[in-house]
Structure 1
Amino acid sequence: MTHHNPATVRVGARRRTPWLGSSILMLGAIYCLLPIAWVVAASTKNGSDLFTTFTFAPGTGFVENLTDLSAGGLYWRWLLNTALYAGVGGLLSALVSGISGYTLAKYRFAGRNAIFNVLLAGVLVPGITLAIPQYLLLAKIGLTDTYLSVLLPQIISPYGIYLARIYAAAAVPDTVVEAARTDGAGEFRIFSRIGLPMMVPGLVTVFLFQFVAIWNNFLLPFIMLSSDSKFPVTVGLFTLLNQGSTVPALYSQVIIGSLLSIVPLIALFLTLQRYWRTDLISGAVKG
């Protein structure tokens, strides 16, 4: 009978585990990146190649597809609209979340826990269930088919307020706030000069979450807007996709439009990731 040393078995298990985890992560990465790779390849194919071949080999129709997409400038208007909705909405949402989260974390008042519990419940409510009530409310005051009809519902983010509250409680020491009050600083000054700078990494995360959510949002602008000049890129590409059933050449424009629409998201993540690195380093030093 062969006897195995328990220590040797444990070492072997530790050696195998990283390979297993890496393999699972690699499969997950391939699963997520494969559709993007196909979109990149398909954006270079003209209409005939797109429907006759299914390969990842690049074609020669990228410039032609881009020229057709840019004709009239409507696509770039959609892209600017999306940047407006996501940029302004994300900034306002991060600001409102920061103020609300800081207030819930640093002040004691009646009903604070009840408000926080309602926010937690709001995180569980799907946005699709609120779209129709929001449309009816905005229609009552004549704001449908306006930029505000898409911006206003996006400013309040229960999940953003929840994250800001958790981050404010951890990143802004009570002793620092009390010392500022002792020195005679007002509450707004304490928040703007002390609390807000300490919360920047957390608020960047809130901004990114909300920016991506608004950028990819389809249902709300689809319900609120009727003028194609105000469409975001998601609704605009959907209209092109519907027209593609009668004009198949438009499918190539939809594909290259989808590819271009993710470039700003990638650039934003690469630009703002340094805030996360700073937060991780500072957390390690504090620990």
Structure 2
Amino acid sequence: MSTSAPASTPSSRPGATSTRTAGARVRAPRRAGRRAGSGTAPRRSVVLTLLTGLVLVYSLLPLIWLAINATKTQADLFGSFGLWFSGDFALFTNIADTLTYDGGIFGRWLLNTVLYVVLGAGGATLLAVLGGYALAKFDFPGKRAVFAVVIGAVAVPGTALAVPTFLMFSEVGLTNTPWSVIIPSLISPFGLYLMWVFAVDAIPDELLEAARIDGSGELRTFVRIALPLLGPGTVTVALFTMVATWNNYFLPLIMLKNPDWYPLTLGLDAWNDQASTAGGEAVFDLVITGSLLSIVPLIIAFLLLQRFWQSGLAAGSVKG
């Protein structure tokens, strides 16, 4: 009795198998493409866009007003619309007059401000980096108390400490000297707290332990390993302290009497007050031009240091 051969099924035919596999290979990317497209579709919020636009206008409008009015003569400041140019373009004339007025005192104020920023803000950044690294990576008695003191110092405004600082510096004879502005600028509680929080996650403990096992000292470990990883945080603290010192007004106001040691903020305010004094000369055009010149170094610093923030974000995305 002969038995018939088993009927061939679709799975037993090589042609059908290859066709099914090819079809699966073709269909899979389409499904994946649809899922990827639906998952990455941006959601736009009209309210968020309007709020962002309002913040942008609020931030740029004073700068635009300053740039436009720096091109006007003093007569045109009061005889033309504030947000548009006048007939005479006097920007370069105003810059020359600002730099030469009163014996070129504006240049002296600019150098004073640079001195306060380099020594004050630079020292504050260095102390914040050292202190933040030590508080983040070393355990010692009283660490919680130090944390409470730092948080409390962040909450206290600088103007509240200006008068006690003046009384203390007057006792040691440092008022009306550059040190009365530089020394208080060395303390930045917010910068210390920021570096503390940043160093906790930016520097892995395993990396420090490996360096110590290899025989690296603490100073060499900090300089060769920790400091490069703290780059983005260091740049952030440096910019915060630089802007705070550059725009510092109240502390130099109560500390300094000699105009030769004035920073730009105090010097431009003195020019502005000339119009209200008896026999004083109104130089509002020079005040506006000087204000424009005073913010140019800050803009340049932000543009030059922006790449450090971008490199820090890229490194964080790779680590994640």
Give the TM-score normalised by the residue count of structure 1: 0.91
The one-letter amino acid of 1:45's match is K
The one-letter amino acid of 1:201's match is P
Q: Which digits, 9 at most, give the CA deviation of each residue in 1:241-270, with x for residues without a partner? A: 110225464111111100111100000000
Distance (whole Å) between structure 2 residues aligned to residue 206 and residue 32 of structure 1: 22
Q: Which has the larger displacement, 262-271 or 66-75?
A: 66-75
The one-letter amino acid of 2:175's match is T
**Higher alpha-carbon Rg:** 2
1:207 partnered with 2:238: yes
Q: CA deviation at 1:96?
A: 0.3
Distance (whole Å) between structure 2 residues aligned to residue 131 and residue 151 of structure 1: 13
Uncovered stretches (5+) of structure 1, i.e. residues with no partner: 1-10
Contact 1:47/1:248 (<8 A) preserved: no
Contact 2:162/2:251 (<8 A) preserved: yes
Q: CA deviation at 1:155?
A: 0.7
Aligned to 1:42: 69
Q: CA deviation at 1:67?
A: 2.4
Equivalent residue for 2:94, pick from 62, 65, 74: 65
Distance (whole Å) between structure 2 residues aligned to residue 232 and residue 111 of structure 1: 39
- Within a 5 Å distance, the mapping from 1:1-287 to structure 2 comes to 17-59=44-86, 60-71=89-100, 72-246=103-277, 247=280, 249-287=282-320
Aligned to 2:11: none
Contact 1:69/1:257 (<8 A) preserved: yes
Q: Would the alpha carbon gap of residues 77 and 49 (structure 1) be closer, same or farther in structure 2, given more than 3 Å must change?
A: same
How many residue pairs end up in the alignment?
Answer: 275
SS state at 2:296 partner: helix
Q: CA deviation at 1:186?
A: 1.9
Contact 1:201/1:279 (<8 A) preserved: yes
Q: Which has the larger displacement, 33-42 or 259-268?
A: 33-42
Distance (whole Å) between structure 2 residues aligned to residue 202 and residue 146 of structure 1: 32
Q: Would the alpha carbon gap of residues 100 and 16 (structure 1) be closer, same or farther in structure 2, given more than 3 Å must change?
A: closer
Distance (whole Å) between structure 1 residues aligned to residue 287 and residue 211 of structure 2: 55
Q: CA deviation at 1:16?
A: 7.2
SS state at 2:166 partner: helix
Distance (whole Å) between structure 1 residues aligned to residue 218 and residue 207 of structure 2: 13
Aligned to 1:7: none
Contact 1:241/1:250 (<8 A) preserved: yes
Q: Which has the higher contact order (CA 8 A, sep 6+)?
A: 1
Distance (whole Å) between structure 1 residues aligned to residue 179 and residue 291 of structure 2: 25
Distance (whole Å) between structure 2 residues aligned to residue 164 and residue 16 of structure 1: 34
Identity among equivalent pairs (%): 45
The one-letter amino acid of 2:85's match is P
Distance (whole Å) between structure 2 residues aligned to residue 55 and residue 204 of structure 1: 36
The one-letter amino acid of 2:248's match is N
SS state at 1:142 partner: coil
Contact 2:272/2:282 (<8 A) preserved: no
The one-letter amino acid of 1:282's match is A
SS state at 1:244 partner: helix
SS state at 1:257 partner: helix
The one-letter amino acid of 1:175's match is E
Q: Would the alpha carbon gap of residues 16 and 204 (structure 1) be closer, same or farther in structure 2, given more than 3 Å must change?
A: closer
